[in-house]
Amino acid sequence: MHLVMKRFGIFELLFSLALLTAGGCYYDVEEELYPSEECDTNNVTFSGDISPAIQSNCLVCHSNAARLGNITLEGYDNLKAQVNNGSLLGAIKHQPGFAPMPDGLPQLDACLIARIEQWITDGAPNN
């Protein structure tokens, strides 16, 4: 009987240690835990900043070929139409009345949204 209790005690101890250590093993994104205070929104350009962001985050669904939701963001003129009607910014900022984009994924990085918003504030130039 003493041997059974001794083994049970060891099992409980090992199980408890496993639970304690497993609870501490998870992955966090450093940028989300400690957001950078600096987000450079100066000199945002369509060719250097906006177009690459749209290509990597939006064109899988909103290219000329895919046109999901009957929306295409490929090319400056198509993107500018969505900027002009307010849907680009409304969608990426997850504002009420707009389908949150990217669909089924987390909201874009706050700095990227700020850079897109600054580009729009600057008149959304084709630069």
How does DSSP assign 27-74, residue by residue?
---HHHHS--S----TT--IIIIIHHHHHHHTHHHHSTTT-GGG----
* Predicted pLDDT of residue 15: 56
Q: Kindly report, residue by residue over 74-88, the tens digit of the pLDDT.
A: 999 999 999 999 999
In a domain, 21, yes or no: no
The predicted model scores a pTM of 0.70
* Cβ atoms of 42 and 114 closer than 8 Å: no
In a domain, 19, yes or no: no
Instruction: Identify residue 120 by its one-letter amino acid code.
Output: I
In a domain, 13, yes or no: no
In the DSSP assignment, the letter for residue 102 is S
Q: Kindly report, residue by residue over 98-122, the tens digit of the pLDDT.
A: 999 999 999 999 999 999 999 999 9
* Predicted pLDDT of residue 30: 60
Domains held by the chain: number: 1
Could you list the residue range(s) of the whole structural domain that residue 82 is in?
41-121
* Cβ atoms of 63 and 69 closer than 8 Å: no
Work out the average pLDDT over 22-49: 73
Q: Is 108 helix (H, G, I), strand (E, B) or coil?
A: coil
What percent of the chain stands above pLDDT 90? 70
In a domain, 101, yes or no: yes
In a domain, 113, yes or no: yes
* Cβ atoms of 113 and 107 closer than 8 Å: yes
In a domain, 68, yes or no: yes
